[in-house]
């Protein structure tokens, strides 16, 4: 069940490159196995964070003070595109990230964030760029504040941006709702749908009698 999210004031790190895909956020070999939760934080952005010899890359923003403790990422266009791996979100979460502000996100990554109590915020690219510039002007010392209830972001310069978010998603985050439990409350409706659908589209439901062979 996701942790509720309402307000956050924290260090924010701008990572402005376009099209940072989920393979870059977490490499696949870190995700192979069923016991990976809790092991991923140190591998987030591995290819950017570490040099080929395994040492930290001092140029990468999350290796620099005060960004090392960032709980907010400010990102370039199309952040989180690519693979559906929820491990990308888990690795950011385990790294301490609680909100991501950008002009657009990969659709599946965006949905995965909400499932884990991470708030992804979409605002205009010009506003994202301004926010990144404001943060950099304070060398990261200036904090960013997010208020989900009021749907506002306050930049280190004091500039206030408002954002929009789907009301269902917002409520889910504010309360830390568990979608599986909520949907199971509608199990009667699911069964009613399936009963009617078995008549309307029987070919969808009768999968237990494949033609004798499985070779095509």
Partner 1 sequence: MPGRSLLEKIWDQHVIARLSEDTDLLHIDRHLLHDLGGSRGLLDLKSRGLKVHNPELTFATPDHALSTAPGRAGTSKIGMELLAALRVETAASGITLFDVDQPGQGIVHVIGPELGLSLPGATIVCGDSHTCTHGGLGALAFGIGSSELTHVLATQALIQKRPKTLRARFEGRLPLGVTAKDMILALIGHIGAAGGTGYAVEYAGSAIRALPIEGRLTICNLSIELGAKMGMVAPDETTFEFLRGRPYAPQGEMWDLAVKAWRELPSDPDAVFDREVVIDVEKIIPQVTWGISPEHVVGVDGVIPDPKAVDDPARRAAIETALEYMGLQGGAPIAGTPIDWVFIGSCTNSRLSDLRAAAEVARGRKVAAGVRAWVVPGSENVKREAVAEGLDKIFIEAGFEWREPGCSMCLAANGEVVGPGQRSVSTSNRNFVGRQGPRARTHLASPASAAASAIAGAIADVRMMGR
Nearer to partner 1, 149 or 166 (CB): 166
Give the one residue of 53, 55, 58, 207 binding partner 1; rule: CB under 8 A. 207
Structure tokens that stand for 177 in this block: 């709702």
Q: Does 149 bind partner 1 (CB under 8 A)?
A: no
- Of 5-13, 131-139, 148-156, 164-172: span binding partner 1 (CB under 8 A): 164-172
- Closest to 96 measured CA to CA, from 73, 120, 74, 65: 73
Give the three-state DSSP class for 61. Answer: helix
User: Residue 153: in which H helix or E strand, if any?
Assistant: strand 152-154
C-alpha span between 121 and 78 (Å, rounded): 12
Contact letters for partner 1, residues 112-141 (x by CB under 8 A): x--xx-------------------------
Nearer to partner 1, 158 or 199 (CB): 199
Give the one residue of 6, 10, 21, 170 binding partner 1; rule: CB under 8 A. 21
- Of 3-11, 25-33, 59-67, 144-152: span binding partner 1 (CB under 8 A): 25-33
Residue with the two structure tokens 């790190």: 13
Q: Write out the DSSP string of 66-99.
A: TGGG-SEEEE-TTBTBS---THHHHHHHHTT--E
Give the one residue of 82, 133, 170, 174 binding partner 1; rule: CB under 8 A. 82
Q: Does 42 bind partner 1 (CB under 8 A)?
A: no
Q: Does 100 bind partner 1 (CB under 8 A)?
A: no
Give the one residue of 6, 10, 27, 157 binding partner 1; rule: CB under 8 A. 27
Give the one residue of 11, 75, 78, 91 binding partner 1; rule: CB under 8 A. 78
Residue with the two structure tokens 């990261």: 140
Q: Does 94 bind partner 1 (CB under 8 A)?
A: no
Binding site for partner 1 (CB under 8 A): 17-19, 21, 23-24, 27-29, 31-34, 47, 52, 77-78, 81-87, 89, 104-108, 111-112, 115-116, 166-168, 179-180, 183-184, 186-187, 189-190, 193-194, 197, 201-208, 210-211, 213-216
């Amino acid at each position: 069940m996701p942790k509720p999210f309402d307000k956050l004031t924290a260090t924010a790190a701008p990572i402005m490159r376009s099209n940072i895909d989920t393979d870059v956020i977490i490499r696949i070999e870190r995700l192979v196995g069923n016991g990976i939760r809790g092991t991923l934080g140190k591998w987030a952005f591995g290819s950017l964070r570490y040099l080929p010899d395994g040492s930290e890359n001092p140029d990468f923003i999350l290796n620099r003070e005060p960004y090392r403790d960032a709980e907010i990422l400010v990102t370039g266009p199309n952040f989180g595109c690519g693979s559906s791996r929820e491990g990308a979100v888990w690795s950011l979460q385990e790294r301490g990230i609680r909100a991501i502000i950008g002009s657009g996100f990969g659709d599946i990554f965006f949905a995965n964030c909400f499932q884990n109590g991470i708030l992804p915020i979409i605002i205009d690219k010009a506003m994202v760029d301004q926010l990144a510039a404001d943060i950099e002007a304070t060398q990261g010392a200036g904090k960013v504040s997010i208020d989900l209830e009021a749907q506002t972001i306050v930049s280190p310069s004091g500039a206030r941006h408002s954002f929009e978010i789907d009301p269902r998603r917002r409520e889910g985050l504010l309360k830390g709702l568990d979608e599986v439990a909520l949907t199971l409350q509608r199990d009667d409706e699911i069964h009613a749908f399936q009963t009617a659908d078995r008549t309307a589209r029987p070919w969808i439901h009768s999968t237990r009698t494949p033609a004798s062979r499985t070779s095509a």
